[in-house]
A = this chain, B = another copy of it.
Amino acid sequence: MTKGERTRERIIRQAAPLFNQRGYEGSSMQEIMAATELEKGGIYRHFSSKQELAAKAFDYAWAEAMKARRHDLDGVDNSVDKLKRYIANFVERRGSVPGGCPLLNTATDSDDGNAVLRTRARKALRGWQNFLEAIIADGIRKSEIRANVEKAKLANVIIASLEGAIMIGRLEQSLEPLRTAQSHLDDYLEAKVRIKN
Protein backbone atom coordinates (compact mmCIF):
# COMPACT_ATOMS: atom_id res chain seq x y z
CA MET A 1 0.00 0.00 0.00
CA THR A 2 1.25 3.47 -0.84
CA LYS A 3 1.21 6.23 1.76
CA GLY A 4 -1.79 7.77 -0.03
CA GLU A 5 -3.71 4.50 0.12
CA ARG A 6 -2.91 4.15 3.81
CA THR A 7 -4.21 7.66 4.49
CA ARG A 8 -7.35 6.91 2.52
CA GLU A 9 -8.00 3.75 4.56
CA ARG A 10 -7.38 5.63 7.77
CA ILE A 11 -9.87 8.35 6.84
CA ILE A 12 -12.51 5.72 6.07
CA ARG A 13 -11.84 3.93 9.37
CA GLN A 14 -12.04 7.15 11.39
CA ALA A 15 -15.09 8.56 9.63
CA ALA A 16 -17.08 5.32 9.82
CA PRO A 17 -18.14 5.62 13.50
CA LEU A 18 -19.29 9.18 12.90
CA PHE A 19 -21.48 8.30 9.91
CA ASN A 20 -22.83 5.18 11.64
CA GLN A 21 -23.76 7.08 14.79
CA ARG A 22 -24.91 10.42 13.45
CA GLY A 23 -26.09 9.63 9.94
CA TYR A 24 -25.16 11.29 6.68
CA GLU A 25 -26.70 14.70 7.31
CA GLY A 26 -25.71 14.62 10.97
CA SER A 27 -22.03 14.19 10.12
CA SER A 28 -20.79 17.67 9.33
CA MET A 29 -17.57 18.35 7.44
CA GLN A 30 -16.37 19.98 10.68
CA GLU A 31 -16.85 16.73 12.59
CA ILE A 32 -15.29 14.64 9.83
CA MET A 33 -12.26 16.94 9.96
CA ALA A 34 -12.06 16.57 13.75
CA ALA A 35 -12.39 12.78 13.59
CA THR A 36 -9.69 12.42 10.94
CA GLU A 37 -7.47 15.28 12.13
CA LEU A 38 -7.29 16.58 8.58
CA GLU A 39 -8.21 19.82 6.85
CA LYS A 40 -10.99 19.82 4.28
CA GLY A 41 -8.44 19.83 1.46
CA GLY A 42 -6.70 16.82 2.94
CA ILE A 43 -9.94 14.87 2.88
CA TYR A 44 -10.96 15.95 -0.61
CA ARG A 45 -7.56 14.93 -1.91
CA HIS A 46 -8.70 11.34 -1.27
CA PHE A 47 -12.47 11.50 -1.89
CA SER A 48 -14.38 13.35 -4.57
CA SER A 49 -17.26 14.17 -2.22
CA LYS A 50 -18.72 13.66 1.25
CA GLN A 51 -21.04 11.18 -0.41
CA GLU A 52 -18.15 9.07 -1.70
CA LEU A 53 -16.57 9.05 1.75
CA ALA A 54 -19.90 8.10 3.37
CA ALA A 55 -20.33 5.24 0.90
CA LYS A 56 -16.83 3.88 1.63
CA ALA A 57 -17.42 4.33 5.37
CA PHE A 58 -20.64 2.32 5.09
CA ASP A 59 -18.90 -0.46 3.14
CA TYR A 60 -16.21 -0.57 5.81
CA ALA A 61 -18.68 -0.64 8.74
CA TRP A 62 -20.76 -3.30 6.99
CA ALA A 63 -17.72 -5.48 6.26
CA GLU A 64 -16.76 -5.25 9.96
CA ALA A 65 -20.30 -6.20 11.04
CA MET A 66 -20.34 -9.18 8.66
CA LYS A 67 -16.98 -10.34 9.91
CA ALA A 68 -18.30 -10.38 13.50
CA ARG A 69 -21.50 -12.16 12.53
CA ARG A 70 -19.75 -14.83 10.48
CA HIS A 71 -17.22 -15.59 13.20
CA ASP A 72 -16.30 -19.30 13.33
CA LEU A 73 -19.17 -20.21 11.03
CA ASP A 74 -17.08 -22.44 8.80
CA GLY A 75 -16.50 -24.80 11.70
CA VAL A 76 -20.21 -25.61 11.93
CA ASP A 77 -21.23 -28.47 9.69
CA ASN A 78 -25.01 -28.83 9.89
CA SER A 79 -26.82 -26.00 8.08
CA VAL A 80 -29.48 -25.47 10.76
CA ASP A 81 -26.77 -25.30 13.41
CA LYS A 82 -24.97 -22.84 11.13
CA LEU A 83 -28.03 -20.57 11.02
CA LYS A 84 -28.30 -20.80 14.81
CA ARG A 85 -24.62 -19.96 15.25
CA TYR A 86 -25.05 -17.02 12.87
CA ILE A 87 -27.96 -15.75 14.99
CA ALA A 88 -25.97 -16.25 18.21
CA ASN A 89 -23.04 -14.30 16.72
CA PHE A 90 -25.42 -11.53 15.75
CA VAL A 91 -26.65 -11.27 19.33
CA GLU A 92 -23.30 -11.61 21.06
CA ARG A 93 -20.77 -9.99 18.73
CA ARG A 94 -20.49 -6.45 17.45
CA GLY A 95 -18.54 -5.10 14.53
CA SER A 96 -15.73 -2.71 15.40
CA VAL A 97 -17.76 0.35 14.34
CA PRO A 98 -20.00 1.71 17.13
CA GLY A 99 -23.53 2.98 16.54
CA GLY A 100 -25.61 -0.13 15.89
CA CYS A 101 -26.20 -2.08 12.68
CA PRO A 102 -24.81 -0.11 9.71
CA LEU A 103 -27.50 -1.52 7.42
CA LEU A 104 -30.41 -0.51 9.65
CA ASN A 105 -28.91 2.95 10.13
CA THR A 106 -28.10 3.54 6.48
CA ALA A 107 -31.38 2.07 5.23
CA THR A 108 -33.56 4.33 7.39
CA ASP A 109 -31.21 7.25 6.76
CA SER A 110 -31.28 6.94 2.98
CA ASP A 111 -34.64 5.41 2.06
CA ASP A 112 -36.23 8.75 1.29
CA GLY A 113 -33.32 10.45 -0.40
CA ASN A 114 -29.60 9.80 -0.74
CA ALA A 115 -29.52 7.51 -3.80
CA VAL A 116 -25.83 6.58 -3.52
CA LEU A 117 -26.18 5.36 0.07
CA ARG A 118 -29.49 3.71 -0.67
CA THR A 119 -27.94 1.69 -3.51
CA ARG A 120 -25.16 0.70 -1.15
CA ALA A 121 -27.61 -0.41 1.54
CA ARG A 122 -29.62 -2.43 -0.98
CA LYS A 123 -26.50 -4.16 -2.17
CA ALA A 124 -25.53 -4.98 1.43
CA LEU A 125 -29.02 -6.36 2.12
CA ARG A 126 -28.90 -8.45 -1.08
CA GLY A 127 -25.51 -9.84 -0.03
CA TRP A 128 -26.87 -10.73 3.41
CA GLN A 129 -29.93 -12.45 1.91
CA ASN A 130 -27.73 -14.37 -0.56
CA PHE A 131 -25.47 -15.50 2.26
CA LEU A 132 -28.34 -16.91 4.35
CA GLU A 133 -30.14 -18.33 1.31
CA ALA A 134 -26.99 -20.24 0.32
CA ILE A 135 -26.85 -21.89 3.76
CA ILE A 136 -30.55 -22.79 3.48
CA ALA A 137 -30.21 -24.16 -0.07
CA ASP A 138 -27.24 -26.22 1.06
CA GLY A 139 -29.30 -27.57 3.96
CA ILE A 140 -32.14 -28.59 1.66
CA ARG A 141 -29.68 -30.34 -0.67
CA LYS A 142 -28.14 -32.22 2.23
CA SER A 143 -31.59 -33.14 3.64
CA GLU A 144 -30.97 -31.21 6.83
CA ILE A 145 -33.65 -28.63 6.01
CA ARG A 146 -37.19 -29.44 4.90
CA ALA A 147 -37.70 -29.20 1.15
CA ASN A 148 -40.77 -26.98 1.54
CA VAL A 149 -38.82 -24.20 3.28
CA GLU A 150 -38.76 -21.10 1.05
CA LYS A 151 -35.25 -19.81 1.36
CA ALA A 152 -35.95 -16.14 0.49
CA LYS A 153 -38.73 -16.03 3.06
CA LEU A 154 -36.76 -17.72 5.81
CA ALA A 155 -33.82 -15.39 5.18
CA ASN A 156 -36.12 -12.36 5.49
CA VAL A 157 -37.75 -13.68 8.67
CA ILE A 158 -34.29 -14.01 10.25
CA ILE A 159 -33.08 -10.61 9.04
CA ALA A 160 -36.28 -8.77 10.00
CA SER A 161 -36.46 -10.32 13.49
CA LEU A 162 -32.84 -9.44 14.26
CA GLU A 163 -32.88 -5.94 12.80
CA GLY A 164 -36.17 -5.05 14.50
CA ALA A 165 -34.82 -6.40 17.79
CA ILE A 166 -31.73 -4.20 17.44
CA MET A 167 -33.99 -1.17 17.15
CA ILE A 168 -35.87 -2.10 20.34
CA GLY A 169 -32.69 -3.04 22.21
CA ARG A 170 -30.88 0.16 21.33
CA LEU A 171 -33.81 2.28 22.52
CA GLU A 172 -34.06 0.27 25.75
CA GLN A 173 -30.27 -0.09 26.08
CA SER A 174 -30.73 -3.78 26.68
CA LEU A 175 -29.67 -7.05 25.02
CA GLU A 176 -32.95 -8.68 26.08
CA PRO A 177 -34.90 -7.96 22.86
CA LEU A 178 -32.13 -9.58 20.79
CA ARG A 179 -32.12 -12.61 23.09
CA THR A 180 -35.89 -12.87 22.71
CA ALA A 181 -35.52 -12.78 18.92
CA GLN A 182 -32.82 -15.44 19.12
CA SER A 183 -34.91 -17.80 21.18
CA HIS A 184 -37.93 -17.22 18.92
CA LEU A 185 -35.88 -17.97 15.80
CA ASP A 186 -34.12 -20.98 17.36
CA ASP A 187 -37.49 -22.50 18.33
CA TYR A 188 -38.78 -21.85 14.84
CA LEU A 189 -35.75 -23.45 13.19
CA GLU A 190 -36.15 -26.55 15.34
CA ALA A 191 -39.91 -26.84 14.89
CA LYS A 192 -40.41 -25.93 11.24
CA VAL A 193 -37.07 -26.05 9.45
CA ARG A 194 -34.84 -28.85 10.70
CA ILE A 195 -35.26 -32.42 9.50
CA LYS A 196 -34.82 -34.68 12.50
CA ASN A 197 -33.19 -38.05 12.01
A: residues with CB less than 8 A from B are: 21-26, 98-100, 103-105, 107-109, 111-113, 118, 121-122, 125, 153, 156-157, 159-165, 167-168, 170-172, 177, 180-181, 184, 188, 191
Contact = CB atoms under 8 A, between A and B. Distances in A.
Number of copies: 2
A57 to B, nearest CB: 15
B111 A100 contact: yes
Nearest to A114: B26
Nearest to A152: B180
A154 to B, nearest CB: 9
Given A25-B23, A105-B108, A113-B22, A164 B171 contact: no
11 contacts: A23-B25, A24-B26, A104-B108, A121-B171, A125-B171, A156-B181, A157-B181, A160-B161, A161-B164, A162-B164, A163-B164
